[in-house]
Amino acid sequence: MRAVVMHETGGPEVLRLEEVARPEPGEGEVLIAVRAAAVNPIDWKYRRGFMPKQLPAVLGNDVSGVVAVSRADGFAKGDEVFGIAASGGYAEFATVPARMLAKKHAGLSHVQAAAIPVAGMTAWQALFDRGGLESGQTALIAGAAGGVGHLAVQFAKRAGARVIGTGSARNRDFVLGLGADEYVDYTQQDVAEAVSGVDVAFDTVGGETTQSLLGTMREGGVLVGIAGAPPEDEARERGVRAELLIMSPSTEQLAQIGALVAGGDVHVEIAETVPLEEVGRAHTLSESGRTRGKIILTVGT
Ligand SMILES: NC(=O)c1ccc[n+]([C@@H]2O[C@H](COP(=O)([O-])OP(=O)(O)OC[C@H]3O[C@@H](n4cnc5c(N)ncnc54)[C@H](OP(=O)(O)O)[C@@H]3O)[C@@H](O)[C@H]2O)c1
């Protein structure tokens, strides 16, 4: 099969399309013919060597495709599925453990389905499992136009929260259109000056942004970060609980979010679909930090 293989760390040029052996599904796994795979920021962080990865490697977590071989209960050859690949998603075939897999809903395209797993479950777990967000509360989403953030805005709104998103001017109408009640352009205003009384802050940006989010929160609020560990001691001094979330896959959440998107209740924004052959361009786009929604690689069609 063809796969994008990374033999060394570096720029987008280290991603090379090569002929490699098809992975074998283990017990409890399926082999899928990949139709679409998402590019997530963690992929270029691995490529740059910011995070350790055994090489050579096939990058890519999120996949959607058709089961070619099943060694897992509940899945059969021909099923359309989406989930998180064990063997790397930037490839014509990938193995996926059943505990990271769900059947693709009929109303969902492969491109939409591939956009969901990492971004969707991360947003869900941050707001509800960690943040405990409830109806009537105020949720602040930093990076509201990004792959994770744009889903978080919609999940929080559906849960009955008042939602404030942050981003630059060009994303204002997009984020308000997703249902956010307010928008703060971080290039013009410090969010800590514009916002107060936040119950749940979801920080998808990290760095200095985390610091300013702390200044928006009510005592007893929760700050959940995914792009770096928040300063727990400083948060505690302010009476805020601050946590780093590392997403853990849940087949229930995957199916639930898939149903919301398939039913038209949640919109998945596709920034660009890029053929697997042009993976370097997709990485350059992701690394720019300006993505609106998700970047998706299309495979084999
Ligand atoms: N811990 C985990 O389990 C986990 C899971 C998923 C993702 N992550 C991490 O979470 C981060 C976000 O992921 P993602 O996929 O959502 O990234 P992404 O799609 O690349 O995010 C891009 C968005 O960030 C916005 N942005 C950039 N700087 C900003 C700032 N200072 N304030 C507000 N918005 C800003 C941009 O909006 P503008 O262009 O308008 O600035 C753009 O829309 C990444 O670091 C990723 O690695 C962690």
Q: What is the CATH number of the domain that holds 37?
A: 3.90.180.10
Give the number of the atom of ligand 1 that is nearest the alpha carbon of residue 41.
47
CA distance linking residue 87 with residue 101, whole number of Å: 14
Ligand 1 binding pocket, CB closer than 6 Å: 40-42, 118-119, 122, 142-143, 145-149, 166-168, 171, 186, 204-205, 209, 226-227, 245-247, 286, 289-292
CA distance linking residue 137 with residue 47, whole number of Å: 39
Give the number of the atom of ligand 1 that is nearest the alpha carbon of residue 150.
16
Give the number of the atom of ligand 1 that is nearest the alpha carbon of residue 40.
15
**Residue 149 CA, ligand 1 centroid: distance in Å:** 7
Q: Which residues of the chain have pLDDT under 50?
A: none
Read off the tokens for 272.
Answer: 């660009």
Instruction: Please report the pLDDT score of residue 301 as a whole number.
Output: 61
Asked, for residue 87, whether it belongs to a domain, the answer is yes
Residue nearest to atom 39 of ligand 1 (CA): 290
Asked, for residue 144, whether it belongs to a domain, the answer is yes
CA distance linking residue 226 with residue 209, whole number of Å: 12
Instruction: Please check whether residues 95 and 184 belong to one and the same domain.
Output: no
Q: Is 185 exposed, middle or buried (0-12, 13-18, 19+ CB in 10 A)?
A: middle
- Please state, in angstroms and as integers, the Cα–Cα distance from residue 286 to each residue in 40, 79, 116, 274, 291, following that order: 7, 30, 16, 12, 6
Asked, for residue 13, whether it belongs to a domain, the answer is yes
Asked, for residue 190, whether it belongs to a domain, the answer is yes
Asked, for residue 263, whether it belongs to a domain, the answer is no
pTM over 0.75: yes
Instruction: Please check whether residues 138 and 108 belong to one and the same domain.
Output: no
Q: Strand pairing partners for 66? A: 33, 80
Asked, for residue 58, whether it belongs to a domain, the answer is yes
Asked, for residue 226, whether it belongs to a domain, the answer is yes
Instruction: Please check whether residues 94 and 210 belong to one and the same domain.
Output: no
Read off the tokens for 176.
Answer: 């308000």
Instruction: Please check whether residues 124 and 238 belong to one and the same domain.
Output: yes
Residue 204: φ, ψ to 5° = -100, 5
Tell me the CATH number at 217.
3.40.50.720
Asked, for residue 254, whether it belongs to a domain, the answer is no
Instruction: Please report the pLDDT score of residue 145 as a whole number.
Output: 98
User: Which mutation among 224, 291, 292, 295 tests ligand 1's pocket best, with the greatest number of atoms within 8 A of CB?
Assistant: 291
Q: What is the pLDDT of residues 69-115, one digit of tens each?
A: 999 999 999 999 999 999 999 999 999 999 999 999 999 999 999 99
**Residue 95 CA, ligand 1 centroid: distance in Å:** 27
The whole domain housing 189 covers: 119-244
* Structural domain count of the chain: 2
**Residue 298 CA, ligand 1 centroid: distance in Å:** 22
Instruction: Please check whether residues 131 and 91 belong to one and the same domain.
Output: no
Instruction: Please check whether residues 133 and 99 belong to one and the same domain.
Output: no
Instruction: Please check whether residues 168 and 95 belong to one and the same domain.
Output: no
Instruction: Please check whether residues 86 and 134 belong to one and the same domain.
Output: no
Domain boundary among 244, 259, 284: 244
